[in-house]
Chain A
């Protein structure tokens, strides 16, 4: 149980393109979802926390207009990287939890901006 599906697993696109990443909880209702960014050989940096039906809470230094997060249902959150540039290339990972339970992670999305 507690499976989180993240899609796509890899994206390669041109600079200026907007990219949407989906995070789905398959067998549980996720009241809270988290989006992380991970640089090569680095740890996970929390970008934002989203609760179903409300606006996401962004961490300091994360541009809200750059990284749009929508958590419209209890099983789906999306992260849209708008007008992506090469510096946005990274590994993005989502996680989901229900109530006070543990976080369950997706398999990540490798984003490469040319």
Chain B
């Protein structure tokens, strides 16, 4: 079952602004990952944050994880038109067999030039 829930479902911003997407989940996790999907394409892995980490950076991306609230956020700074895509969080459960990912419903980001 889908346990990751992103919000907002859709987000439209001007180029140069920051975009923040949130993800909530229900069960214990080993790690949480964020992916990007351009329309009609496969997924591109953006960043992975482990359950014992609270924040992680990669270029213009900043991810936070709050395991007490079972939530994560993805911040894209200084957005560009090329950032327009759908963004999904995916959780890997803790324990054996943690290789399976459960995806959220995604946030569709539109960056207006």
| CB closest chain-A residue, reference B105 | A43
Q: Is A24 part of the binding interface, using a Cβ–Cβ cutoff of 8 Å?
A: no
**With contacts A42-B105, A105-B35 known, what are 15 further pairs, Cβ within 8 A?**
A34-B100, A36-B103, A41-B108, A43-B4, A43-B103, A43-B105, A46-B100, A49-B100, A91-B40, A102-B33, A104-B45, A105-B42, A105-B43, A108-B40, A110-B40
B42 touches A106 (CB 8 A): yes
Which A residues are in CB contact (< 8 Å) with B2? 43, 45
Q: What's the Cα separation between A46 and B40 when bound, in Å?
A: 18
Which B residues are in CB contact (< 8 Å) with A106? 42
Instruction: Say whether chain A's binding surface is mostly helix, strand, loop, or mixed.
Output: strand
| CB closest chain-A residue, reference B5 | A43
What total of chain A residues lie within 8 Å of the partner, measured CB to CB? Answer: 25
Q: What's the Cα separation between A97 and B45 when bound, in Å?
A: 12
Binding site for A on B (CB under 8 A): 2, 4, 33, 35, 40-45, 48, 88, 99-106, 108
Q: Is A12 part of the binding interface, using a Cβ–Cβ cutoff of 8 Å?
A: no
Please tell me which one of the listed residues A34, A44, A107 contacts residue B88 in the complex, with CB atoms under 8 A apart. A44
Q: What's the Cα separation between A43 and B4 when bound, in Å?
A: 10
A108 touches B106 (CB 8 A): no
B42 touches A103 (CB 8 A): no
| CB closest chain-B residue, reference A104 | B45
Cβ distance B63 to chain A, nearest Cβ, rounded Å? 15
B40 touches A44 (CB 8 A): no
